[in-house]
Amino acid sequence: MHDSSKTERQPTLLLIDDDLVSREVMATVLSMSGFTVQTAATGEAALELLSGGKYLPDAILMDAQMPGLSGAALIAALRAHTKARILAISASQPPQEILSAADGFLLKPLAAEGLRKALEEQRKQEAPTAAPAVASSLGPNEPVVNPETLAQLRQMMPETAVRQIFAAVVADLGRRMTALEAALAQGDEAEIRRIGHAIKGGCALAGAQQAARLGALIEIGALGKDSNQLDNSARFLRDLRAAALSLERMLEAEFPV
């Protein structure tokens, strides 16, 4: 681990890169610029680091081309374990699927100032927008999981790995719903929006379509003060539970143990 302390707290970073030289050089440069950096040589090692829930980076920098678990599949797996911003890094333009899945992209060699700018721009993009007047419920014909995303995941990794991703999404949804209930009880609108953003991001990348849409509605303020909050809260919690149950049933049907 590379560490550097300053009076003002700088973001904590997880750097994932399979190339030893690139990894150590970038970690050193970022540490000297005030960031606290933890490194991982593979996507699998990064997930293991995050799985305990004790390491909570502010942002993740991941090389766009690595052996093993990588690319959009790695981003989806990371989303199930962390709320951190995920930035792809590469010496060349990565595929569009990675650009779409990540929160941003930075060219190598990596400059600390460029990273700070990217993180600041991402924070601005995540600023809450106006709330809609009415929240939507689950559509009767809305798929639980996007079939194209599921097919892509199956092409990129073994069935056991795909099952692990969806199991993590289901478990994360359970934790988010508990946190959402607490935030609703406290009237903490900022926390409610943050939870919605987390549900939207993780579920969308795994293709969990119903839950992702509900998360997006929560993020933009569907449970805000300008709507019937009590009725909407009950509806969203009910719909989220239904979406999570549907995901569990899909998991048992598609990936039997």
Residue extents of the structural domains in the chain: 12-125, 147-254
Per-residue pLDDT, averaged over 11-15, amounts to 89
Q: With a threshold of 0.75, does the pTM exceed it?
A: no
Is the confidence at residue 185, as pLDDT, over 60? yes
Question: Across all residues in the chain, what is the average pLDDT?
Answer: 81
**pLDDT digit string (tens) for 22-66?**
899 888 888 888 889 999 999 999 999 998 777 889 899 999 889
Q: What percent of the chain has pLDDT over 70?
A: 84
Is the confidence at residue 219, as pLDDT, over 70? yes
Residue 137: CB partners within 8 Å, gap ≥ 6? 235, 239
Residue 30 pLDDT = 87
Dist. CA 11–CA 34, nearest whole Å: 8
Q: In angstroms, how far is CA 79 from the centroid of its own chain?
A: 3
Specify the CATH architecture of the domain 12-125: 3-Layer(aba) Sandwich (3.40)
- 8 Å CB contact between 170 and 105: no
The tokens for 211 are: 């839950």
- Which of 95-104, 119-128, 182-191 is predicted least confidently? 119-128
Is the confidence at residue 133, as pLDDT, over 90? no
The listed CATH number (3.40.50.300, 3.30.420.280, 1.20.120.160, 3.40.50.970) that belongs to domain 147-254: 1.20.120.160
Which residue type, as a one-letter code, is found at position 222?
Answer: A
Q: In angstroms, how far is CA 161 from the centroid of its own chain?
A: 17
